[in-house]
Amino acid sequence: MKREEHLKVDKFAWNKEYNDVHAWLDETFPKYAGRNPYRHWLERHFLDAVKEKYGEFTLEYNVAYLHILFDYLSHFQVAYAPQTKKDVEDMLKSQGVL
């Protein structure tokens, strides 16, 4: 999903935008943009990375969880939030994009 769409989800779910959370999740996107944009998901699009950054029982964790969930929904029509980097690798391989 595009950043604007993630921010709309924020407004709906939390009545506030959390651009800093989305910026952190997608910070490495430009590094992969021309080649394989899904590869940036290997950096932070899994719950262990989010937990390390924000803790487990925080609003920011929940914002990041929805960001990841909606990315998988919008790209692969699967409601999924991987726990580990290995889970991301396995999912992207199963979709034929890695």
For residues 51 and 1, what is the distance between their CA atoms, to the nearest angstrom? 21
**∠ CA 75-8-65, rounded to 5°:** 55
Span 41-68, pLDDT tens digits: 999 999 999 999 999 999 999 999 999 9
C-alpha distances out from residue 89 to 8, 13, 24, 80, 82, Å: 28, 29, 20, 13, 9
- Residue 34: what pLDDT? 83
- Structural domain boundaries in the chain: 3-94
Torsion of CA 19, 24, 27, 98, to 10 degrees: -110
pTM: 0.95
3-state SS assignment for residue 63:
helix
